[in-house]
Structure 1
Amino acid sequence: MTTIAVTGHMDLTENSVRLVRTALDELLKQYADGDQLVGVSCIAEGADSLFAEAVLAVGGRLTVVVPSQDYSQNVVGPSHAALFGHLVEAAEEVLVLPHATADRQAYEAANAVLIERADRLVAVWNGEPPTGKGGGTADTVLEARMVGVPVDVVWPDGAARRG
């Protein structure tokens, strides 16, 4: 059994979504005996959900980590609500953390759960350093590396963030 967690950018451009999903499919092919794969994701828009879909596509099991009790009502936007709901339904396990609101502490706690459970971490990450806000992709990569969790960076040629 291999448990792979994900961290990554939410604000991928439209073209990047296809590029990243293809790269994730390619990475997860080595776990083609999917029932031996557990993917752990916060299923946020962008990288997290693309990874969750790729895990399910290879027959893996999905564990969802919801950072706070208000996350689905107050953070998940209308454009992501249907996919978010589908992934929660498809998950074998859903952990809703005890934080009342989705704030920096909730995101940092969710990232700690990802790292704690992971044999490996997939980072859909452009390689830029942390912003200093905490709880972001770069922070999670650094934390994983500090505790010895191997990190696979996925950032295909042509990938970009919006804005």
Structure 2
Amino acid sequence: MARIGITGHSNLTAASAPLVREALVTQLSLHHDRLIGVTCLARGADQIFARAVLDVGGSFEVVLPAADYRDRKVKPDNAAAFDELIGKASQVRTMPFEESNRDAYMAASEHVLSSVDAMLAVWDGRPSGGRGGTGDVVQAARERGIPVTVVWPEGAERE
């Protein structure tokens, strides 16, 4: 059984989403045994990853950063997609934070790192814009010796 985590940008352009999904499906297809994805289910890369895991016949677990995440951070235009995906998760864990903030995001990412064999990073290679960003998670994974595969297909862009 392979346990693969995701970190990545939440602000991908609409045109980037299918490129990223195809690249993630390609990477996930390399795992011929039972696949479990682990995601914080943020908009963008995390939700694309969850769908890609389902595309290849795997299942996924969700780690929410804080108790208020759904109400405070999921925007109205993403609520239906978030709710649909969380309903398909095999397990949902909420970190012990009341409020979604940088500390909660990094703690959730640390939990993901503690439960996976490898990470995929939908990352343009630029430094994080604040604690708990994609670059920080990639660095933390590498410091722990967790293999990280960067997925940034040609044509992918952030808003």
- Report the TM-score range of the alignment, normalised by the length of the smaller protein: over 0.9
Equivalences for residues 9-158 of structure 1 within 5 A: 9-33=9-33, 36-131=34-129, 133-158=130-155
Q: Which runs of 5+ in 2 are unaligned?
A: none
Look up the equivalent residue of 2:136 and give its one-letter code.
D
- Cα contact 1:32–1:58 (8 A) shared by 2: no
**Percent identical residues:** 46
| TM-score for the superposition, normalised by structure 2 | 0.97
How many residue pairs are counted as aligned between the two chains? Answer: 159
SS at match of 1:45: coil
Q: Which runs of 5+ in 1 are unaligned?
A: none
d(CA) in 1 for partners of 2:11 and 2:139? Answer: 20
Runs of 4+ off more than 4 Å: none
SS at match of 2:29: helix
Look up the equivalent residue of 2:99 and give its one-letter code.
T
Matched, 1:4 2:4: yes
- Aligned Cα root-mean-square deviation (Å): 0.9
d(CA) in 2 for partners of 1:43 and 1:110? Answer: 11
String of CA shifts for 1:86-112, please: whole Å, max 9, x gaps. Answer: 111101110011100001110010010
1:18 positional shift: 1.1
SS at match of 2:30: helix
SS at match of 1:51: helix
1:32 positional shift: 4.6
